[in-house]
Amino acid sequence: MRQIWQEYVGVELNDYLEIGAIKVLADKLGCSLDGPAEYEDYFYKIFLNKIEKKLGLEKPVFVYDYPAQMCSLSRLATDSRYAERFELYINGLELANAFGELTNAEVQADNLEKDRALREKLGRPTWLVDPDFVAALKSGIPGGCAGGNSLGVDRMAMLFTGANDINEVIFQSVSDQCSDNN
């Protein structure tokens, strides 16, 4: 992640791991946001507008080590400012998203509660921390032995068909599902 921010945005990501700093950078890059926003909102506004479409154009590329504050379900990397998370990009399209799962129940519960509180503060929908999930972690998943990977079949269809919009390859478009008519 640090390397692509240097290459495509011209900055050292380590200097933009706090909300105040990344907000200033977003404004400078023309990626401002209106209303309340969190670190992740600014990060993705820059990432989606300045970086993502350039990834994996010549060959597939894995982007790894995402800022820790964006990965509440992930284990921390050796550098604790980052999390064990990666995404696979081909032709500017994210095909897979994976991470080493955080299996420490107390840390996970704390992360989820912090996420919930931040969403509440920003006026966004919230949900309670799932006690069954936390209990399952307490039951004893060995640390470092769990991971997850999500491969987007719809995105694979986009890649193979040359579609420019996900709505061209899915059964019912996202825009149809979000309209007032349904």
Domain positions in the chain are 1-54
- Kindly give the parts of the chain with pLDDT less than 50: 181-182
3 state DSSP class of 171:
coil
Nearest to 64 by CA among 19, 22, 94, 42: 94
101-147 pLDDT, tens digit each: 888 888 889 988 988 898 898 888 998 889 998 888 888 776 556 77
Q: Give all strands (DSSP E) within 38-143, no chain letters.
A: 61-67, 82-90, 93-100
pLDDT confidence of residue 142: 65
How far is the CA of 32 from the CAs of 14, 25, 55, 118, in angstroms? 20, 9, 22, 20
Model-level pTM?
Answer: 0.78
The CA distance from 94 to 77, in Å, is: 21
Mean pLDDT value across the chain: 88
pLDDT confidence of residue 170: 85
pLDDT confidence of residue 173: 63
